[in-house]
Amino acid sequence: MKFPKITIVYLCAFTVLSCGKDNLSQDEINGVEIQKEIKEEEIQIGKTNTESEEGEVLESQKTNQEGNSTPEDTSTSVPEIDCFTNGGTAEEVGLKTWCWEDATIPDYSNKKGVLFSDGQLKVDSECYEKQVSIENNQIKFSLNPTYPAVEDWCSRDFNMRAEISTQPWKVNHSKGTEEWFGWSYTFGSDYIIDKSNHWLFFQVHPGVVGESPHTELMVIKDGQVNGHSAGEIFVINAANGKDYHPTGITPKAGETFNIVVHAVWGDTSNGLLQVWINGKSIYNKQVATVYKAYPWGGNAKWGIYKWPWAEAKGVALSQNQGILQLETFMGPLRMITRRPDDSDYGKDSYALVSPR
């Protein structure tokens, strides 16, 4: 679709800001991030009929979004425009965009990560330093638990994480902060469903040592959720108890998914979480999105977090299935951060962040 030049200029004006992450300190590294094992009986499956959940959306959101484009099939509402990198930090408000063709990840060694994209984003890699790279205008996440062998500087025994995150790490968004995230995510050509180990490819973490992310997109393992097989994507809202919501989507090798997440960080009175995959509404609830004990929105991360590979048992379970590595790719990232007093607060912005 082509637009007049004046229209392109107008659209480009929206492309402002970014988000990033500061990792946990070295003192925090040793005790952090291994997820708790999930007991099947504790898991609550969310509703699969998104129409029955529409009434749970915040009244303020419904008022602001009336007549705008967040139906189950939104593919016709997303304009095809060029991507222009114009990022910002996690605290900054407005639209923040990263297109990767002009991004460079600096060389580094003997540490978990490095800042890039003008310090707005950060690599978080355990333990090999080259597990996050830029290839063909995409972020490439490549994880092999045993190769290269972990060096002495790393507290882990195996390679188990390849992510990027917003900066600073402990952004601690106040209640009522609204965020939109949009990106494409591709499963590598050699992808094999891991029946024994689950993993995350998106998380929002409160930055508290030993605590799980309050928002996740997880690929489950066999036996984790009754009635659902390994490889299915689940939306996890840990701030709402054991809220595990099936998507009905099980990725195959080479498949790409366009993902949009909309959140208002808050409690049951003002929290909101919405998720779309390939234009279809997957999760849509007015619900708590922050922990009671840690009442703030956390820092967003994308990539591969496969914590079962932190131990030899988890690595062996994957290798016995012929899984020696996991490789995925991420397209341009668009996100919006708004405060309650911003003029555009609550405005439907699906089309602004949705992958083109």
Among 33-42, 75-84, 223-232, 267-276, whose mean pLDDT is lowest?
Answer: 33-42
Which residues, in sequence order, are bridge partners of residue 234?
Answer: 218, 246
Q: Given the structure tokens 């060029």, which residue do they identify?
A: 82
Question: What residue spans of the chain are helical by DSSP H?
Answer: 5-12, 26-29, 59-65, 312-319, 350-353
Q: What is the mean pLDDT of residues 24-53?
A: 39
User: Peptide bond preceding 355: is omega within 30 degrees of 0, i.e. cis?
Assistant: no
Give per-residue pLDDT as tens, 85-138.
999 999 999 999 999 998 999 999 999 999 999 999 999 999 999 999 999 999
**pLDDT tens-digit map of 166-218:** 999 999 999 999 999 999 999 999 999 999 999 999 999 999 988 999 999 99
Please report the pLDDT score of residue 135 as a whole number: 96
Q: Averaged over 224-245, what is the pLDDT?
A: 96
pLDDT of residue 83: 86
Q: Which residue has the tokens 């997880």?
A: 218
Query: What residue numbers bound the domain in which 34 lies?
Result: 5-353
Select from 181, 175, 156 the least CA-distant residue to 98: 181
Q: What local confidence, expressed as pLDDT, does residue 242 receive? A: 81
> How do residues 262-271 score in pLDDT, each as one tens digit?
999 999 999 9
Tokens representing 27? Answer: 């003192």
Strand, coil or helix: what is 41? helix
CATH number of the domain at 322, please.
2.60.120.200
Total domains in the chain come to 1
Which residues does 259 contact at the CB level (< 8 Å), separation at least 6? Answer: 181, 182, 183, 184, 185, 202, 217, 275, 276, 277, 355
The answer to whether residues 97 and 83 touch, using CB atoms and an 8 Å cutoff, is yes
Separation of alpha carbons 325 and 327, rounded Å: 7
Q: What is the rounded average pLDDT of the residues 273-281?
A: 98
| Angle at the Cα of 132 from the Cα atoms of 129 and 138, rounded to 5 degrees | 160
Confidence (pTM): 0.81
